[in-house]
A and B are shown apart, each in its own frame.
Chain A
Amino acid sequence: MTAVLHAETARQDVFGVYDFSFRFLSSSDDARRSMRKLYAPFGRPASGKPALNAVIEVEAGGKYRWQLGLAGGTAPDLHAALWSLEAALCETVIRSQRSRIAVHGAAVYAGQTLALIAGCSGAGKSTLSLALAKRGLAVATDDVALVDAGTLDVLPIPRYVHLDENSVSLLHADGFQFAQAREHHRHITPADLGGAATQLLPASVLIFMAGARRERPRIAPISQAQVAAHLLSQTGQGPLTNLETVAVLTSMVSGAACYALTAGPLTATADLVADVVLGGNKGNCTVRREYQQ
């Protein structure tokens, strides 16, 4: 089923996410504004015809129909439609890659230092990312980034930041100013977090969020092999073979300081991580040389 466009009012924008481009059509100014905010800062569209059309339109009854190529669905409101479309776009961008792998993690910048914070869904990457933005770090994605197999550059995929009510209250308690970031907390984008105009760099700090939340946060150096294994577990099936993916990840960790983070209360955790990232990789991964198994 194809979303019905209001031909007299629908307008279009063309966006590019690295070498993938798409045309967005909607008669909703709110939808177009939101999509521009998310995608426009992430570069110019590739030349040539956009690969796919993305559409959001109002259906009879006030529901919203979203469509990306042949995929699509109905959502109860515009926010939900934008989320669904954006998630589908993220998957499509990842699938369109030929020499880049996708790693589940937040990309956070402090000047020329790029930290990739990896961890399972629900580990708290998004909440921590916003708390780090409050501390002056630029957040380019809270969820997923591509890693180029040749250059090892990290290419953050722009995504809306998804927060549940618990995260919102934790961030309020940490002093995060939602009103300054956006009108509605469900629509925070990297542009709100200083991370839209990012440089493409290899990650110099890799942090893996592991373990249950504790009374006090802890960040400790771990081996590059441990982080490579963790990253492999957070890397989806991509265009490279498994062996090629392992080779990319081991090259990636070779140039990075590697840490394991056990989160505690948000403020203390964010302070700790900000110190590590702002310190860059100067305090390079301490190698435990003593006998250990």
Chain B
Amino acid sequence: MRQGCVDAHALPDHSLLLYHTGSEVAFPLNESGAFIWEMCDGAHTLDQIVDAVASKYEAQREQIDKDTRAFLDVLIHHDLVRPQVPVA
């Protein structure tokens, strides 16, 4: 789930600039990173995000799974997203 303290600016080349208003740090994301960010809306599970990335980009599914999880870890580490516990 995206944090509310993050200001996101989508750019014409499909990259995205995230600005954390608390830490005052900017994070540039490339197109695939921006795609994943957009899916962090609380409505998609991690597996659904990996599926969506795999259907959009041509790469080994295993690699995409690994990279997507690693990328989300980075977003969590910088307090840009927070993990969401699924509601039963």
Contact = CB atoms under 8 A, between A and B. Distances in A.
Interface of A: 223-226, 228-229, 232-233, 242-243, 246-247, 250, 253-254, 258, 285, 287-293
A254 B32 CA distance: 18
Contacts of B53: 291
A254 B12 contact: yes
Nearest to A247: B9
A293 B12 contact: no
Contacts of A289: 14, 31
Interface SS of chain B: helix, strand, loop or mixed?
mixed
Contact of A287 (B9, B14, B57, B64): B14
Contacts of A287: 13-15, 31
A228 B13 CA distance: 12
Interface SS of chain A: helix, strand, loop or mixed?
helix
B35 to A, nearest CB: 10
A242 B15 contact: no
B7 A254 contact: no
Given A289-B31, A293-B32, A293-B70, A246 B26 contact: yes
Contact of B11 (A228, A232, A288): A228
Nearest to A228: B17
A228 B7 contact: no
Contact of A224 (B15, B24, B57): B15
B17 A246 contact: yes
Contact of B26 (A229, A258, A290, A293): A229
B28 A293 contact: no
B12 A224 contact: yes
A293 B13 CA distance: 16
Nearest to A246: B19
Given A225-B29, A226-B28, A293 B71 contact: yes
B17 to A, nearest CB: 4
A289 B59 CA distance: 13
Given A229-B17, A229-B26, 18 more contacts: A223-B28, A223-B31, A224-B13, A225-B30, A228-B9, A242-B19, A242-B21, A243-B7, A243-B21, A246-B17, A247-B9, A250-B11, A250-B17, A285-B13, A287-B14, A287-B31, A291-B32, A291-B58
Nearest to B11: A224
Interface string B49-62: 00001001111000
Listed residue (A250, A254, A285, A289) with the most chain B CB atoms within 10 angstroms of its CB: A250
A292 to B, nearest CB: 6
B76 to A, nearest CB: 15
Contacts of B64: 291
A138 to B, nearest CB: 27
Contacts of B11: 223-225, 228, 250, 253-254
A223 B30 contact: yes
A288 B15 CA distance: 10
A246 B31 contact: no
Nearest to B60: A291
Contact of A225 (B21, B28, B58): B28
B16 interface: yes
A225 B7 contact: no
Contacts of B56: 291
23 contacts: A223-B11, A223-B15, A223-B28, A224-B13, A224-B17, A225-B9, A225-B28, A225-B30, A226-B15, A229-B26, A232-B26, A242-B19, A246-B26, A247-B9, A253-B11, A258-B13, A285-B13, A287-B13, A291-B32, A291-B53, A291-B57, A291-B64, A292-B30
